[in-house]
Amino acid sequence: MVEESKAVIPANYDLNAKWDACLDLGVRRFVYSSLAGAFAGLLLFRSPVTRWASVAFSAGVGIGSAYSDCSHKFDGSPPKLTSNISYSPLSKAEE
């Protein structure tokens, strides 16, 4: 009997899992934010145009946040932003 040996792919390099996770995240955030926008539009606005605008805006926010998270998944961890601001006061000699 021949055993099939399947190569185990590390999680960092498994593109299929990353695409599945990003697709799931994108669809979920799109639907949830669209529903939240529709609910907010029904509560806050009277005109159908502004209600659809709130749905479209919130759907865009959901897709944008999913895109941001997915780009971090594919590229690795986000870079840490460091500031060059010194919190100690300068003495007269350093000025």
At 78, the amino acid letter reads P
Render each residue's pLDDT in the chain as its tens digit; 95 residues. 566 666 676 666 677 888 888 999 999 999 999 999 999 999 999 999 999 999 999 999 999 999 998 888 887 765 566 666 666 666 666 55
What does the pLDDT read at residue 10? 66
At 50, the amino acid letter reads T
Q: Are 41 and 49 in contact (CB under 8 A)?
A: no
What does the pLDDT read at residue 82? 65
